[in-house]
Homo-oligomer: A and B are copies of this chain.
Amino acid sequence: MVKNDNYFMYKAIYEAYKTSDSGDVPVGCIIVKDGKIIARGHNTREKKQCACDHAEINAIKKANKKVDSWRLEGCTMYVTLEPCPMCAGAIINSRLDKVVFGAHDMRYGALGGRINLLEGNLEYSPEVESGVKEKECADLLKTFFKKMRVKERTKSNPII
């Protein structure tokens, strides 16, 4: 199997499914070096009740341990949703070479969706590619929020 962007984004989507039992927004992330996955992460904010536990932060922390360095030069991140300001900042801080994301986030994305951190002339900028398997990544979120809305309606009106 060709290990291209689509292949790795499917791996990130698979990671997003791991949130299904916790009530967390399904976002998944992997970090790749020399064609190998060195770290995986999914959103555990609700499960762990920690504001910092987004998929990207969880994956960066694991990758740092794996390479025994806070620098992730030579690495590429694949993430199903456009990173928020915290995660985009962490990507810059960790010196990742490249970020590939799936769905754009016009509400909170910090790589062009709501804002663009890379326009801030910070000292380091990763390469960014977006829209890889966008429909599949966005569908994950749509299904999740639809389920949440039904749950809320059922709670407020138990007859439904």
Contacts and interface: CB of A to CB of B under 8 A. Distances in A.
A61 B87 CA distance: 15
A45 interface: yes
A88 interface: yes
Interface stretch (A12-20, A89-97, A143-151): A89-97
A155 to B, nearest CB: 20
Nearest to A108: B122
Interface residues of A, number: 40
A69 to B, nearest CB: 5
Contacts of A122: 85, 108, 114-115
A132 interface: no
Contacts of A85: 85-86, 88-89, 92, 110, 117, 120, 122
B108 A114 contact: no
A71 interface: yes
Contacts of A77: none
A127 interface: no
Closest 5 CB pairs of A and B: A86-B89, A85-B89, A51-B94, A115-B120, A51-B70
Interface of A: 45-46, 48-54, 57, 60-61, 64-65, 68-72, 84-90, 92-95, 107-108, 110, 114-115, 117, 120-123
